[in-house]
Chain A
Amino acid sequence: MFDGIQRRVVSIWFPRLASDRVLRMRPVEGPFALTHSLSNTNRIYCLNGAAERLGLSAGMPFSDARAFCPDLQSRPADLLADKRFQHALRRWAVRYCPWVGLEDDDGLVLDITGTAHLFGGEAELLMDMRQRLSRAGITACIGLGDSRGAAWALAHHGEGSAPVGATSDVLQDLTVAALRLEEKTVTGLGRLGLRTIGELANAARAPLTRRFGPSLLMRLDQALGQQPEQITPLKDPPHYGVRITLPDPIGIKSDVMEGTSRLLTQLCAKLKSHETGARILALTLRRVDQDSQQVELRLARPMRDASRILPLFERGIDDVDAGYGIDQMRLEAVQVEPMPVQQLSHVSTGHKNQLDDLITRIGTRIGLENVQRFLPADSHIPEHSYQIAAAAFSSPESAWSTIRPRPLHIFPPAPLLGTHAAPTPPKRFRWRRMSFATARASGPERIAPEWWLEADEWRTGVRDYWCVETRQGRRLWLFFTPQSPSWYVQGEFA
Chain B
Amino acid sequence: MTVVSTTQDTEALSLVIVSELTAPPQRVWQVWADPRQLERWWGPPEWPATVVDHDLRAGGRTSYYMTGPDGSKAHGWWTVVSVDEPRSIAFDDGFADDSGHPAQDMPVTRVEVAFEEIPTGTRMSVTSRFPTLEALEQMVGMGMLEGMTLALGQIDAVLADA
- A and B interact physically: no
